[in-house]
């Protein structure tokens, strides 16, 4: 659903304020220095001490028995789906979920599973919505074998699933013999915003992962967590897909650094997101969805401009944001954006909207 970045005119200035995505954060000098000093081994045979340290730390943080280091969040989702599902199975997930909208149809292409899109505000759904999708056990119906959620919900505006809502959905799934999967790309944003510990959020979820390349600022890496048995089976898929990472400790070190230095500061990104939302809401014709974390979605319909047009105009002034629909823009705060940058971005968007 992320549209292509606007086509750059020749002579387009460099991006000064990058609100395009928290995926574009760059490793700091200190993170790079820490990575350079990492002790490494062969990750594939379980002897890279830095990857092992990261996996042990992540398993503990998520309250799971085991963890596996992977290059990306998409690969965590795909390997989790391959591990939970068989060809012909059905996954229940929100209609805006990353696994449904943004992974190239991977669930169908790789696992042979179909995803039924659930509806509900802010990327969330409830037990009533699940009940409405429940199929009878019959030779006609696809076996429903997985319920998946996103914490936070990306296209749901960075919304945080409350603990009670997570619990009721997971309980329903388990009552119907379906395992549960949590896409925790921005799980630490949810923790920082709500004060709920990752292990509590993930308690009823059979698999859960965290991305290090979003607001946590690492260059590469995501960690998938679950039971010993789940991670054991997931490892076969990692091998099959060619995802083993030899001296992966270089990258895992960046992730360890991120856990130590870049988690608490996510609170700043949330403050900046609220400031950005207030600023954008004061621009004529722009309406803003209330941000809960670091994603700010806004609608440009009443400006008479598509989100792409506004994005291209802002980009020509050195401010970049993404578009998620004809009239829906998304601006994302992260560690490479300061409070002053937010003020400047609002001023630029106000100016180009009027021009
Ligand atoms: C970014 C994202 C992913 C994919 O993570 P990558 O590391 O970019 O592959 C999956 N789910 C959600 C909700 C995301 O925002």
What is the mean pLDDT of the segment spanning 248-261?
Answer: 98
Token code pair at residue 97: 């979920």
What pLDDT, in 10s, does the model give residues 278-332? Answer: 999 999 999 999 999 999 999 999 999 999 999 999 999 999 999 999 999 999 9
The confidence score (pLDDT) of residue 111 equals: 98
Same domain? For 115 and 153 the reply is yes
What pLDDT, in 10s, does the model give residues 142-198? Answer: 999 999 999 999 999 999 999 999 999 999 999 999 999 999 999 999 999 999 999
The confidence score (pLDDT) of residue 5 equals: 59
What is the mean pLDDT of the segment spanning 87-93?
Answer: 98
Under DSSP, the state recorded for 323 is E
What is the pLDDT confidence band of residue 4, given thresholds at 50, 70 and 90?
low
Token code pair at residue 198: 């990752």
To the nearest whole number, what is the mean pLDDT of the chain? 96
CA distance 307 to 43: 44
Centre of ligand 1 to C-alpha 114, Å, is 19
CA distance 265 to 7: 33
The confidence score (pLDDT) of residue 3 equals: 55
pLDDT above 80 for 245: yes
The confidence score (pLDDT) of residue 270 equals: 98
**Does residue 254 form part of some domain?**
yes
**Does residue 58 form part of some domain?**
yes
Pocket lining: 150 vs ligand 1, CB cutoff 6 Å:
yes
Range of the domain at 341: 265-354
Same domain? For 257 and 319 the reply is no
Residue among 20, 70, 73 to mutate when testing ligand 1 (max atoms within 8 A of CB): 73
Same domain? For 231 and 315 the reply is no
What is the pLDDT confidence band of residue 351, given thresholds at 50, 70 and 90?
very high
DSSP notation for 215-233: TT--SS-EEEEE-HHHHHH
**Does residue 3 form part of some domain?**
no
CA distance 264 to 254: 16
Same domain? For 78 and 218 the reply is yes
Location of structure tokens 């900046």 = 272
**Does residue 325 form part of some domain?**
yes
Same domain? For 102 and 152 the reply is yes
The residue whose CA has the least distance to atom 14 of ligand 1 is: 185
pLDDT above 80 for 232: yes
> What is the domain count for the chain?
2
Pocket lining: 287 vs ligand 1, CB cutoff 6 Å:
no
Pocket lining: 24 vs ligand 1, CB cutoff 6 Å:
no
Centre of ligand 1 to C-alpha 98, Å, is 7
Centre of ligand 1 to C-alpha 66, Å, is 21
CA distance 10 to 302: 30
Atom of ligand 1 nearest to the CA of 75: 9
Same domain? For 111 and 33 the reply is yes
The residue whose CA has the least distance to atom 2 of ligand 1 is: 185
By residue count, the chain amounts to 355
The confidence score (pLDDT) of residue 266 equals: 98
Pocket lining: 103 vs ligand 1, CB cutoff 6 Å:
no
Final residue of a domain: which of 195, 226, 261? 261
The confidence score (pLDDT) of residue 277 equals: 98
Centre of ligand 1 to C-alpha 247, Å, is 23
The confidence score (pLDDT) of residue 10 equals: 73
Final residue of a domain: which of 211, 240, 261? 261
Same domain? For 123 and 207 the reply is yes
Please state, as a whole number, how many other Cβ atoms lie within 10 Å of the Cβ of residue 11: 6
> How much of the chain, in percent, has pLDDT values that exceed 70?
97
Same domain? For 197 and 219 the reply is yes
> How much of the chain, in percent, has pLDDT values that exceed 90?
96
Final residue of a domain: which of 237, 261, 285? 261
Centre of ligand 1 to C-alpha 188, Å, is 13
What is the mean pLDDT of the segment spanning 203-225?
Answer: 97
Residue among 23, 70, 74, 220 to mutate when testing ligand 1 (max atoms within 8 A of CB): 74
pLDDT above 60 for 203: yes
Same domain? For 154 and 209 the reply is yes
Q: CATH code at 284?
A: 3.90.1150.10
Centre of ligand 1 to C-alpha 182, Å, is 12
Pocket lining: 315 vs ligand 1, CB cutoff 6 Å:
no
Q: CATH code at 209?
A: 3.40.640.10
Cis omega (within 30 of 0) on the bond before 152?
yes
Same domain? For 289 and 349 the reply is yes
Atom of ligand 1 nearest to the CA of 214: 1
- pTM of the predicted model, to two decimals? 0.96
Same domain? For 84 and 69 the reply is yes
Same domain? For 249 and 298 the reply is no
């Amino acid at each position: 659903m992320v549209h292509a970045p606007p086509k750059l005119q020749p002579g387009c200035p460099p991006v000064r304020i990058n609100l395009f995505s928290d995926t574009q954060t760059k490793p700091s000098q200190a993170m790079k220095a820490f990575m350079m000093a990492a002790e490494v081994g062969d990750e594939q045979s379980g002897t890279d001490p830095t990857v092992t340290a990261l996996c042990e730390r992540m398993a503990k943080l998520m309250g799971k028995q085991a963890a596996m280091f992977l290059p990306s969040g998409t690969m965590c989702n795909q390997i989790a789906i391959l591990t939970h599902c068989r060809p012909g199975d059905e996954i229940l997930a929100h209609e805006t979920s990353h696994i449904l909208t943004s992974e190239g149809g991977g669930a169908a292409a790789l696992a042979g599973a179909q995803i039924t899109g659930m509806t509900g505000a802010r990327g969330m759904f409830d037990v009533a919505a699940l009940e409405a999708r429940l199929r009878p056990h019959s030779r006609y119906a696809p076996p429903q074998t997985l319920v998946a959620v996103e914490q936070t919900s990306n296209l749901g505006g960075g919304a945080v699933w409350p603990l009670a809502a997570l619990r009721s959905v997971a309980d329903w799934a388990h009552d119907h013999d379906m395992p549960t999967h949590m896409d925790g790309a921005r799980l630490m944003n949810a923790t920082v915003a709500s004060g709920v510990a990752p292990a509590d959020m993930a308690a009823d979820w059979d698999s859960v992962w965290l991305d290090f390349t979003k607001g946590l600022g690492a260059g590469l890496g995501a960690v998938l967590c679950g039971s010993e048995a789940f991670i054991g089976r997931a490892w076969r898929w990692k091998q099959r897909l060619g995802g083993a990472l030899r001296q992966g400790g270089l990258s895992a070190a960046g992730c360890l650094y991120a856990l130590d230095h870049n988690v608490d500061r996510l609170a700043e990104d949330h403050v900046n997101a609220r400031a950005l939302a207030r600023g954008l809401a004061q621009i004529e014709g722009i309406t803003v969805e209330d941000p809960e974390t670091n994603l700010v979605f806004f609608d440009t319909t009443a400006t008479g401009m598509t989100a792409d047009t506004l994005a291209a105009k802002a980009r020509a002034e050195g401010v970049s944001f993404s578009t998620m629909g004809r009239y829906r823009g998304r601006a994302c705060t992260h560690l490479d954006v300061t409070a002053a940058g937010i003020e400047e971005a609002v001023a630029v968007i106000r100016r180009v909207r009027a021009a």
